[in-house]
Amino acid sequence: MFHSTNPNPSKLALVPFVSVDNMMKIVNTIGASKVIAEIAEYIEADFLRWDMFDKTPRVAAHSKEGVIELMPTSDGETYGFKYVNGHPANMARGFQTVNAFGVLARVDNGYPVLVSEMTILTALRTAATSAVAAKHLAPKNARIMGMIGNGAQCEFQALAFQQIVGIDTVKLFDIDSKATQKAARNLSDSGLTVISCKTAEEAVAGTQIITTCTADKQNATVLTDNMIGSGIHINAIGGDCPGKTELHRDILLRSDIFVEYPPQTRVEGEIQQLDDDHPVTELWQVMTGQTQGRTSDNQITLFDSVGFATEDFSALRYIHDQLQPTGHFVELDLLADPDDPRDLFGMVQRAKTNSSSN
């Protein structure tokens, strides 16, 4: 996919880097809604070739403060990984709850071809994945979504569902009213009807889609069983590590549950509350037509999303494809490139001589 035809081998030592500033420039040049929709196309294309990917649950280092994770995958030609943290208490200390960066590399020689920030990109790909799932699982002609948790993910999710699913109204609730005010302000020119709610019950009333994206690392009950009527699609994206859930267990027992990668979701998702043999359906199976998604108007569908490495791989592929069209990147002198691959020490010594002569 990324094999270079550059006749100058030394040029391969320069690796494109997309900083936070350049990521924002890419998003604003193309448009946030369009970027999300285009990333969604890459995500769906990669789900359709699911069998080609190396798959493993993310490698996690948990602490009482949060988690640091590596999320690797490869399609046999390109390797990708993301480094990401999740520290819910960070917000109170003036830090981001989530920070991330990612890398794409050639499998044939191991050389990286992209280094990118992924804090913004993760928000974009998470929203895109949610909307791709809802496209297959949500009720037809769904127009109203309730959003419980109005933090960093909120606006991305709203735009994704507007662009890909076709919602026209979003109802917002957060235990912190300032978060709701922030989200309503940011979405004021989106074309969506934005309704700020005082309770979670108010936010879900009359909706066809409910998204939960709260940050606290605890077994919370953001949605109780009596709040969920028939025919609803639930997009549960807040539960993403052991001991962190958002839905009452009884909701799970009433729902048809769809997941990205069961070995990871059973540890980190809402279904950590259920027995290990509780049936779930993998999302790629729905996309490829191997199984059905929504089958009736009364069905409750639940996308228990924890994020998976192929989605990051897709997002990085997309950004790599935007480098030349937008020009929003810099090149890093990241790789040692001696004239003789065996003479790394000599390269260091020559650099010392050159520095002295200057």
* pLDDT tens by residue, 207-264: 999 999 886 666 677 899 999 999 999 999 986 667 778 899 999 999 999 999 999 9
CB of 113 within 8 A of CB of 106? yes
Q: Mean per-residue pLDDT for 343-356?
A: 86
Q: Write the pLDDT tens digit of every residue in 28-82.
A: 999 999 999 999 999 999 999 999 999 999 998 988 888 899 999 999 999 999 9
Which secondary-structure segment (H or E) carries 46?
Answer: helix 32-47
- Quick one: tokens of 10? 């030394």
Residue 351 inside a domain? The answer is no
Q: What is the pLDDT of residue 191?
A: 98
Q: What is the pLDDT of residue 234?
A: 97
Q: What is the DSSP letter of 143?
A: -
Residue 159 inside a domain? The answer is yes
Task: Report phi then psi at 117, rounded to 5.
Answer: -60, 150
Q: What is the pLDDT of residue 240?
A: 67
Residues 61 and 89 in one domain: yes
Residues 199 and 316 in one domain: no
Q: Mean per-residue pLDDT for 195-199?
A: 97
Instruction: Choose among 223, 245, 253, 260: nearest CA to 137.
Output: 260
Tally of domains within the chain: 2
- 3-state DSSP of 180-201: HHHHHHHCCCCCCEEEECCCHH
Residues 275 and 138 in one domain: yes
CB of 123 within 8 A of CB of 187? no
pLDDT at 10 over 60: no
Q: In angstroms, rounded to a whole number, what is the distance separating the alpha carbons of residues 115 and 211?
A: 31
pTM score, whole prediction = 0.92
Residues 211 and 271 in one domain: yes
Residue 355 inside a domain? The answer is no
Residue 350 inside a domain? The answer is no
Residues 150 and 285 in one domain: yes
Helix, strand, or coil here: 221? strand
Q: Write the pLDDT tens digit of every residue in 303-338.
A: 999 999 999 999 999 999 999 999 999 999 999 988
Q: What is the pLDDT of residue 106?
A: 97
Q: Mean per-residue pLDDT for 144-162?
A: 96
- Residue count of the chain: 358
Q: Write the pLDDT tens digit of every residue in 255-305.
A: 999 999 999 999 988 999 999 999 999 999 999 999 999 999 999 999 999
Instruction: Choose among 190, 192, 202: nearest CA to 146.
Output: 202
Q: In angstroms, rounded to a whole number, what is the distance separating the alpha carbons of residues 203 and 205?
A: 6
Q: What is the CATH number of the domain that holds 210?
A: 3.40.50.720
Q: Mean per-residue pLDDT for 203-207?
A: 97
Give me the torsion for CA of 124, 125, 127, 129, rounded to 10°: 160
Residue 353 inside a domain? The answer is no
Q: In angstroms, rounded to a whole number, what is the distance separating the alpha carbons of residues 29 and 23?
A: 10
Q: What is the pLDDT of residue 7?
A: 36
pLDDT winner (highest mean) among 179-188, 215-224, 348-357: 179-188
Residues 177 and 322 in one domain: no
pLDDT over 90 percentage in the chain: 80
CB of 153 within 8 A of CB of 147? no
C-alpha 187: how far from chain center: 20
Domain that holds residue 54: 12-120+311-345
How many other C-beta atoms can be found within 10 angstroms of the C-beta atom of residue 107? 14
Q: Write the pLDDT tens digit of every residue in 122-148.
A: 999 999 999 999 999 999 999 999 999
Residue 5 inside a domain? The answer is no
pLDDT at 356 over 70: no
Catalytic: 321? no
Residue 125 inside a domain? The answer is no
Q: What is the pLDDT of residue 217?
A: 60
Residues 143 and 98 in one domain: no
Residues 145 and 115 in one domain: no
Q: Among 75, 174, 216, 240, which one carries the catalytic annotation?
A: 240
Q: Write the pLDDT tens digit of every residue in 68-97.
A: 999 999 999 999 999 999 887 887 888 888
pLDDT at 358 over 70: no
Residue 328 inside a domain? The answer is yes
Residues 189 and 329 in one domain: no
